[in-house]
């Protein structure tokens, strides 16, 4: 049977009409492909978002269920540090692992360096220096878990929160305080005095250490997320 026999008036479509029909079919197929592609992109975006949420769920304990939440809250209030800053620093530093120890010797939940631990201890009037780990043996490390030791969660949180409070008082804003926590306050002072890094001597326009720059971004992002969680 002639496939054009049903055309109006029994006539065969003109070449122009056939071309229009062909173009419509092409556009239709392109539309279907585009819709399918957009659907795939949306599905991938949802999958990534779900994976990120699951990672954060694993890394970030429930605010009230975390074993040391009361300590974090108490010392945040005592030293006037926003609780979301405390959680953000602990997450970024140790992912809530009280036994964490970095290759350079930072210890515990808030990754205190032994020298910083001794300095805070003396500043708080707790003169007797308890053992700190040099990372050389399990025996040396085990002694630090006693009350007051650098790995002791309460002491580590108390000293870490105190240090954050000190740095904020020193620099006047949290982003610079984060930089000081990571790189050390003396180095940050030098950056603030250098017009290449600070235009006003108060805030850092740029940070020359990549690690510290990334650290400030991570802590700031984590703080925003915890602020949302505390507001819920």
Phi and psi torsions of 112, nearest 5°: -80, 135
Residue spans per domain, the chain: 11-59, 69-231
Cα(115)–Cα(185) distance, rounded to whole angstroms? Answer: 13
Q: What percent of the chain has pLDDT over 70?
A: 69
**Reported confidence tier of residue 27, pLDDT bands at 50, 70, 90:** low
* pLDDT(21) > 90: no
Quote the tokens at residue 38.
């957009």
DSSP 8-state secondary structure symbol assigned to residue 76: H
Per-residue pLDDT reduced to its tens digit, 72-127: 999 999 999 999 999 999 999 999 999 999 999 999 999 999 999 999 999 999 86
Reported pTM: 0.69
SS3 101: strand
In the chain, the largest separation of any two C-alpha atoms, in whole Å, equals 107
Confidence of residue 31 (pLDDT cuts 50, 70, 90): low
In this structure, whether the domain defined by 69-231 belongs to CATH 1.10.530.10 is answered with yes
Say yes or no to pLDDT of 70 above 80.
yes
């Amino acid at each position: 049977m002639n496939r054009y026999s049903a055309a109006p008036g029994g006539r065969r479509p003109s070449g122009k009409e056939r071309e229009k029909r062909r173009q419509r079919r092409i556009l239709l197929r392109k539309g279907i492909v585009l819709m399918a592609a957009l659907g795939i992109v949306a599905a991938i975006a949802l999958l990534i978002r779900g994976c990120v949420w699951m990672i954060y769920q694993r890394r970030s304990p429930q605010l009230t269920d975390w074993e040391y939440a009361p300590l974090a809250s108490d010392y945040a209030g005592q030293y006037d540090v926003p609780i979301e800053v405390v959680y953000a620093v602990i997450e970024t530093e140790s992912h809530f692992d009280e036994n964490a120890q970095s290759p350079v010797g930072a210890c515990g939940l808030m990754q205190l360096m032994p020298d910083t631990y001794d300095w805070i201890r003396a500043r708080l009037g707790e003169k007797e220096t308890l053992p700190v780990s040099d990372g050389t043996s399990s025996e040396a490390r085990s002694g630090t878990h006693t009350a007051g030791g650098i790995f002791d969660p309460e002491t580590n949180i108390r000293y870490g929160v105190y240090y954050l409070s000190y740095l904020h008082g020193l620099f006047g804003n949290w982003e610079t305080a984060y930089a000081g926590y990571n790189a050390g306050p003396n180095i940050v002072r030098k950056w603030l005095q250098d017009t290449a890094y600070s235009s006003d001597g108060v805030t850092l326009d740029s940070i020359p250490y990549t690690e510290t720059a990334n650290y400030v971004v991570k802590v700031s992002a984590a703080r925003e997320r915890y602020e949302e969680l505390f507001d819920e």
